[in-house]
């Protein structure tokens, strides 16, 4: 019998979208069975932000007008 695996990670992003403020990503639900580790990669207009690989992102002037998102792949 084959098991059922969830492959979608649900993420909540909180914070004020203002320069100088911080956005935070929280994993709400991940793949089942659960992974050992989640990674984070913040994106601006679909492009990776260099060095933005933590659960939070401090907003700077160069991000004004860009669509921000976070990708959270599961590892392990």
> Average pLDDT, stretch 28-48?
81
CA distance 29 to 70: 15
Q: pTM of this prediction? A: 0.80
Taking a C-beta distance cutoff of 8 angstroms, is the pair 42, 69 a contact?
yes
Tokens of 54: 């933590």
Which among 76, 69, 30, 34 is positioned nearest to 48, based on CA atoms? 69
CA distance 65 to 51: 20
Residue 28 banded pLDDT, cuts 50, 70, 90: confident
Query: What CATH number does domain 10-75 carry, 3.40.50.300, 2.60.40.2700, 3.30.1640.10, 1.20.1560.10?
Result: 2.60.40.2700
Question: 6-21, pLDDT tens digit by residue?
Answer: 566 788 999 999 999 9
């Amino acid at each position: 019998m084959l098991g059922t695996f969830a492959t979608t990670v649900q993420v909540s992003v909180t914070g004020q979208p203002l320069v100088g403020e911080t956005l935070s990503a929280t994993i709400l639900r991940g793949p089942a069975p659960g992974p050992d580790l989640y990674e984070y990669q913040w994106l601006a207009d679909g492009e990776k932000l260099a060095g933005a690989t933590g659960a939070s992102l401090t907003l700077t002037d160069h991000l004004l007008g860009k669509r921000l998102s976070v990708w959270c792949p599961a590892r392990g």
